Amino acid sequence: MKAVGLARRLAGHELRLFASLVLWVARRTHGVGAGRAFGYARGQGAMMFGFAFVCVVETIGVAVLLRDHPTLHHIMLFLDVYTVVIVVELYAASVVRPHVLDASSLRIRNAAHVDLRIPLERIASVRRETRSTHEARPDELNLAIGAQTTITLELKETVRHFTFLGRRRDLRVIRFHAEEPDLLVREVREAWGVWEARETAADR
């Protein structure tokens, strides 16, 4: 049963990556709607495309070494091409799936494997905080880009999150990266203030 669930999650992840690649080619985004998008992919673009270039060079080298072994050559060619495609898809997913702030929630994302919607009423504080070291704690989620996070979000109540492998975590602190952290922090605070004013008026 666990194997079936894992296979289903892996297949879903692959589909999301492929859909992200299609959206990237079409220069469209996913899940923004009426909200405001905040990117986070810029910091990892050079590294990921550098890795893809290394994979291409390796593919050429392996092709030369295995030219007298066609079966092995075809297997390694498939694996190398698949690796390059995955790297490009991961970058595409980071571009087309930005963080999104709307009137009721902040949606924090990381490529195709993290998509966490935080209701504004659960936010206790948000601040600009650049960190390059992160301790693993059960109630904290660190979504570093280039080994760095730039925003810390603390919650009044826990938010449930399921890891890529399906393990449940109840989060109270989320650290993540944004290309414009000061702007995102300011917009979240303003959105929270508007939400609080609206709720206060509704209670009168």
Whose CA is closest to 25, among 113, 115, 87, 89? Answer: 89
Answer yes or no: is pLDDT of 22 > 90.
yes
Domain extent listing, the chain: 2-33+42-96, 99-203
Candidates 1.10.10, 2.30.29, 3.30.70, 3.30.450; CATH matching 99-203: 2.30.29
Average pLDDT for the chain: 89
Answer yes or no: is pLDDT of 114 > 70.
yes
Given a contact cutoff of 8 angstroms between Cβ atoms, the answer to whether 161 and 141 are in contact is: yes
- The predicted-structure confidence for 98-112, as pLDDT tens digits, reads as follows 999 999 999 999 999
What is the model's pTM? 0.87
Spatial separation of the C-alpha atoms in residues 193 and 191, rounded to whole Å? 5
